[in-house]
Structure formats: structure tokens, C-alpha cells
């Protein structure tokens, strides 16, 4: 039988050794209250499976030039990553609870923690969370644990799907989300935000950049937050940190990110990679696995899962998070990506994301009827108001082989003709020009 190598003869010998007549004896203690009927398609061979899945994969259409972002990005992924994470010693291994035979995994996690701290300017990082959304949720819980204050203030310039996940994690714990809405949804009203800060807030979440690509200097907010004892949580884009000042230098207490941009495919949204790092005062309340460096009795350096008393297998109902398996292999992918890029390569990626974004903004702003809505510099994404209905514009662009972006009216009721357009380093000049020309072409007919 597929994957189970015991032969029928061996089965008979095993039954004799156990001292039973047939296999059904092993299941006699189950109530035979109902007959078990499993209705599945008949088993197929490897050849049949390959044909079936290949056919299914062709029913997904990725054959476009895509300008869709919104929390998942189409970056350049170096080939070395898949070769290295395909080594079975990495991907078929279990959690490194036995460090003597898991130094591969443990060293890689230690490298990952180190690199995330370098990028974010924070003191400590863990081995990963499920995704950026659950990572912010756990960060909010950390700040609640530290202060016992029951409110979190966050602007609605954070990705809408993240806000939904935050509710799922925080509502059951009676941690209230104060959702701040600027009068114009894409223009962050700093003064109004500051006026809402109170000593009832355990933390604020500051997106960096925000959902609309805005790069904002939050220094006034951070100062007021610190005066009121409110923890500052930055939600950052990891590639942007090669170009932008680190959350640590800006005064973040906790820095959270989505690591999909670090060498992971878009993959219909998952697996993703939650990044969590913080000041060292949060060490005992940080969820997830943490690897530390130590040695054996002969002085040989070794890496080991540490501070395990925070975790569920020890603290059980007293643990601050239930997380067990996380996104280990994706953290390894990100580690290899960051080693491949180095700070110079990552800076190049970030500069290209920024510049190509500027170039596209500039080109689109010159098309009659289009207006760039951002007033801040932008990273990797920007908002455009369109002269025609955004949905029908996207439909027309699709026929030309272009995925033009995300229609913001999905998330913000006022934004009927607003497109969120994303540009990464992987776009060529001709692809950018082709997008601009096509936009011009399809809207000039309609005006």
C-alpha cells in the first residue's frame, strides 16, 4: 500500500507476534454503533496525481503583469532558497526539542532572530508567528499583560483584514479596540490621533508604511504615548527597513511585521510569516519559541530552545499564548533571503520599490482624470483616484493582461473610484510604461 511498506506476509507475522488473529481485533474496543463509510474518489497513482494537480494549477491564472499588493507582494525570490529549504534534513525535521540532533534548525533560528533584530533595531525576536496579523494581536496581548490597561488604539490605515483578525484575538479577552478614523481615510490626522491617547490604552499600533503606502513620521505621537505610559507597537514592512529608520531608533517597544516579502511566494496568502521583536523587558511575556546560545560541559557552543517556561507545554493554562508549531520553514526561507541580499542588496530592493513607485505615480498623475491621493512619500504602494469606476477599469485592464490593483471601495465606503496600486523591484521599465500607456488608452476613449 502506498507509503506503508509492511507486506501482507509481514502483517501475518506481526499478528502472530502480538497474539491476535486479525487486524479487526485491534479496533474491537471502538463502539460499532455505526458502519464507517468514507466517500472519497478512488486512489490514484503518482502519474494520475501529477496530471490531476497540473490541470488544477492551470485553472489558476497568474499570467498577468500584476500591480496587486494589499499585504502580499510579488518580490524577486532568489533560486537558492528553494534548493536549501528542500533539504530533507530541514523540512522533514521536527521541532528542535532534542538540541544535540537539531543544531541545523537551531542555528538557523538564531540567525533569523539576529537578522530581525538588526533590521528592526529591537533587542529580542522570536522564531516566528503565523502571520503579521496574529503577530500584532499577540503583541497587543503582551502590552495588556504588562500594564493591565484594557484598550488598544489603532488607525484604520492598517490593513482591513488585520483589523478583523485583531478583533478575533482581542474581543474574547475583553481588550477593546479603539479604531481611529481620519476624516479623509487616506490622510492620517496626527493631531486628532494624539488627542485620543489616554492612560487607559495599553498600546497603539502604528503602520509603517500604512495600508495606502504612506511613510509617516510618528515622532509626536510616540512622544505623547511615552508620556502616558502607552506601549508603541510598529507594524512594519521588512524590506522597507533597509531604507527607512528602524522602529527601535524611533522608540518602538514592540515591532511586528509580515515576512512574506522576504523570499516567500504569494501562494494565495499562505504560508505567511509573522515577525515579532521587542525590547528586552518583554522577554518573559513574548510568545513563541526563542533560541539561545549556550555550551555543553566541554565548552562546545550549542543552540537551544530557551525560556520554555513561557510556553504552553510547561505553563499550560497559565501560558500567555497557546502557540506551538509556527512557520519554521518560512523563517528559514527568510533567513536565507536576508543572507543572499545582505544589507546592500536589501537596500537596492527597497530603493527600487520606492523609486519605481515614484516613477509610476508620476506617470499616472499625468494622465487626464487620474489623481494621486497620497500626500506623503510612499513605499511600494499608493492610492489613485480614477476617472471611471474602479471595477470596470480593472476589468478592462485585465483584458489587456494587467492586474491594475485593488479597488478600495471593498474596504472604505467612500472610495468608489480608488485604486490601491503596488510596485515592487521586479517591475521593468517597459512594464511600468506599458501600464501607464494602457491606462491612458483605456480611459481616453471613455472621457
Chain positions 290 to 319 lying near another protein, rule: CB under 8 A, are 290-298, 300-302, 304, 306-307, 311-319
Site track for another protein across 315-354, x = CB under 8 A: xxxxx-xxxxxxxxxxxx--xx-xxxxxxxxx-xx-xx-x
Going by C-alpha positions, the residue among 185, 252, 191 that lies closest to residue 412 is 185
- Are the C-beta atoms of 205 and 319 separated by less than 8 Å? no
Can you say how many angstroms the Cα of residue 84 is from the centroid of all Cα atoms in its chain? Answer: 21
Of residues 21-40, those binding another protein (CB under 8 A): 23, 25-27, 29-31, 33-34, 36, 38-40
3-state secondary structure of 391: helix
Other CB atoms within 10 Å distance of the CB of residue 185? 21
CA pair distance 285, 142, nearest whole angstrom:
6
Cβ-proximal residues to 130 (8 Å cutoff; 6+ apart), any chain: 272, 274, 323, 326, 327
Of residues 215-254, those binding another protein (CB under 8 A): 215-217, 219, 241-246, 249
Between 306 and 369, CB nearer to another protein? 306
Smallest separation (angstroms) from another protein to the CB of 388: 18
Cβ-proximal residues to 269 (8 Å cutoff; 6+ apart), any chain: 72
Count residues binding another protein (CB under 8 A): 193
Of residues 359-378, those binding another protein (CB under 8 A): 359, 376-377
Smallest separation (angstroms) from another protein to the CB of 148: 15
Of 143-151, 185-193, 264-272, 437-445: span binding another protein (CB under 8 A): 264-272
CA pair distance 188, 376, nearest whole angstrom:
10
Site track for another protein across 56-75, x = CB under 8 A: xxxxxxx---x-x-xxx-x-
Between 14 and 229, CB nearer to another protein? 14
Of residues 378-417, those binding another protein (CB under 8 A): 398, 403, 406
Of residues 175-214, those binding another protein (CB under 8 A): none
**Under the criterion CB under 8 A, does residue 83 sit at the interface with another protein?**
yes
Site track for another protein across 127-166, x = CB under 8 A: xx-xxxxx------------------------x-xx-xx-
Going by C-alpha positions, the residue among 340, 347, 259, 205 that lies closest to residue 73 is 259
Of residues 89-128, those binding another protein (CB under 8 A): 89-96, 98-105, 107-111, 113-115, 117-119, 121, 123-125, 127-128
**Under the criterion CB under 8 A, does residue 168 sit at the interface with another protein?**
yes
Q: Counting every residue, how long is the chain?
A: 447
The β-bridge partners of 372 are 384
Main-chain dihedrals φ then ψ at residue 151, nearest 5 degrees: -130, 145
Smallest separation (angstroms) from another protein to the CB of 144: 12
Cβ-proximal residues to 126 (8 Å cutoff; 6+ apart), any chain: 113, 276, 277, 286, 287, 288, 289, 290
Amino acid at each position: 500500500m502506498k507509503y506503508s511498506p509492511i507486506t501482507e506476509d509481514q502483517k501475518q507475522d506481526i499478528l502472530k507476534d502480538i497474539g491476535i488473529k486479525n487486524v479487526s481485533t485491534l479496533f474491537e474496543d471502538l463502539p460499532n454503533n455505526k458502519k464507517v463509510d468514507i466517500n472519497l474518489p478512488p486512489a490514484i497513482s503518482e502519474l494520475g496525481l501529477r496530471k490531476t494537480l497540473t490541470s488544477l494549477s492551470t485553472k489558476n491564472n497568474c499570467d498577468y503583469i500584476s500591480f496587486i499588493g494589499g499585504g502580499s507582494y510579488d518580490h524577486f525570490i532568489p533560486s537558492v532558497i528553494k534548493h536549501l529549504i528542500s533539504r530533507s534534513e530541514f523540512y522533514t525535521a521536527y521541532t528542535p526539542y532534542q538540541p544535540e540532533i537539531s543544531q541545523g534548525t537551531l542555528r538557523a533560528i538564531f540567525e533569523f532572530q539576529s537578522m530581525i533584530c538588526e533590521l528592526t533595531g529591537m533587542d529580542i525576536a522570536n522564531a516566528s508567528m503565523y502571520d503579521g496579523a496574529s503577530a500584532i494581536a499577540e503583541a497587543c496581548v503582551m502590552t495588556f499583560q504588562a500594564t493591565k490597561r484594557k484598550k488598544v488604539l489603532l488607525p484604520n490605515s492598517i490593513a482591513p483584514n488585520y483589523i478583523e483578525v485583531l478583533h478575533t484575538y482581542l474581543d474574547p479577552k475583553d481588550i477593546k479596540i479603539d479604531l481611529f478614523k481620519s476624516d479623509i481615510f487616506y490622510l492620517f490626522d496626527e493631531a486628532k490621533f494624539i488627542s485620543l491617547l489616554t492612560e487607559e490604552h495599553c498600546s497603539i499600533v502604528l503602520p509603517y508604511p500604512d495600508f495606502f503606502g504612506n511613510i509617516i513620521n510618528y515622532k509626536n505621537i510616540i512622544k505623547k504615548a511615552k508620556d502616558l505610559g502607552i506601549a508603541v507597537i510598529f507594524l512594519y514592512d521588512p524590506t522597507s527597513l533597509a531604507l527607512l529608520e528602524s522602529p527601535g531608533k524611533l522608540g518602538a517597544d514592540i515591532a511586528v511585521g509580515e515576512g512574506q516579502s522576504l523570499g516567500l511566494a504569494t501562494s494565495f496568502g499562505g504560508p505567511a510569516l509573522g515577525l515579532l521583536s521587542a525590547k528586552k523587558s518583554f522577554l518573559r511575556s513574548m510568545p513563541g519559541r526563542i533560541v539561545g546560545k549556550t555550551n555543553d560541559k566541554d565548552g562546545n557552543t550549542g543552540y537551544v530552545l530557551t525560556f520554555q517556561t513561557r510556553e504552553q507545554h510547561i505553563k499550560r493554562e497559565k501560558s500567555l499564548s497557546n502557540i506551538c508549531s509556527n512557520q519554521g520553514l518560512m523563517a528559514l526561507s527568510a533567513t536565507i533571503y536576508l543572507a543572499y541580499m545582505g544589507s546592500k542588496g536589501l537596500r537596492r530592493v527597497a530603493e527600487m520599490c520606492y523609486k519605481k513607485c515614484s516613477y509610476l505615480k508620476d506617470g499616472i498623475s499625468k494622465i487626464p482624470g487620474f489623481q494621486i491621493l497620497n500626500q506623503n512619500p510612499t513605499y511600494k504602494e499608493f492610492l489613485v483616484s480614477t476617472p471611471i469606476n474602479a471595477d470596470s477599469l480593472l476589468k478592462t485592464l485585465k483584458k489587456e493582461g494587467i492586474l491594475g490593483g485593488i479597488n478600495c471601495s471593498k474596504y472604505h465606503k467612500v472610495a468608489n473610484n480608488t485604486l490601491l496600486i503596488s510596485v515592487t523591484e521586479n517591475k521593468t521599465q517597459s512594464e511600468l510604461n506599458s501600464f501607464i500607456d494602457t491606462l491612458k488608452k483605456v480611459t481616453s476613449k471613455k472621457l
